[in-house]
Amino acid sequence: MSRPVDAVWLNVSPALQLFDRPLLRLLSQQYQIARWEYQQDLDEANSLTLAIALLHDYLQSCPEPVHLLGHGTGGLLALLYTRYYPERVRSLTLLSVGAHPAVDWQAHYYALAKFLHCSRAMILGQMVQNLFGQQPFSKVKSLMQILEEDLLNSLSPHSLFKRCMIPPGGVDVPLMVCGGLEDVIIDPHHFQSWHHYFKPSDRLWLCPHGRYFFHQQHPELTASQVLDFWQPMQANLQDDALLMTLA
């Protein structure tokens, strides 16, 4: 019999999956991690509401609440889902999600595209530098392709014509927010603003030298922080299970 799922990682961009793998590989050494993926068709309208409904269908099949986590727009989806269905979520871990949770790299891209009269390629090149720092030319080209694919095929609340705003606020379940100290998309001030919405048990961790994809740059350090956040809750769950067995 397979182990029940402990945690679910949300991914809403096929192009960005490769940045998640190092962290998930480390977390899966200790926990049963499921990856829930949403792929946006070009002919479909972007709908966070539809994604929430599909995610709820899946999580209802899990026998117990799960640790929910995601990066960027995946984290935004996790946050919105937890606000609707806190009873299905054991804890929430958000990576590169600021206190104004809709702010992501695409929001910055469309802001640049609106005010700069230059090609998509030039803006994507600038975004590569913002997201990853200085890179060799050959790597810049491949990263630009990944970002362009993300623009085309990811679930995003933003477009050239409209940038979405999601109200700030916390959740009823244990919450951990992680970010990069050198992130130029969501700077430390916007992460610190989470403290206005935190419960006493909630946590904020900023990765030294981390950028927007800090979990790909520093997977071991990120994994240790997430595991430390989960450990007390898992210990309580095991104690409860033991008490039920003895009753």
Quick: pLDDT tens for 175-194: 999 999 999 999 899 999 99
pTM of the predicted model as reported, rounded to 2 decimal places: 0.91
Is residue 239 within 8 Å of residue 229, measured between CB atoms?
Answer: no
Chain segment 74-100, per-residue pLDDT in tens: 999 999 999 999 999 999 999 999 999
Quote the mean pLDDT of the chain. 89
Q: At what angle do helices 120-132 and 105-115 cross, to 10 degrees?
A: 140
Q: Which residues neighbour 138 within 8 Å (Cβ) at sequence distance 6 or greater?
A: none
Chain segment 50-73, per-residue pLDDT in tens: 999 999 999 999 999 999 999 999
Chain segment 156-167, per-residue pLDDT in tens: 776 655 667 788
Chain segment 223-243, per-residue pLDDT in tens: 999 999 999 887 666 545 444
Is residue 81 within 8 Å of residue 52, measured between CB atoms?
Answer: yes
Q: How many CB atoms lie within 10 A of CB 111?
A: 13
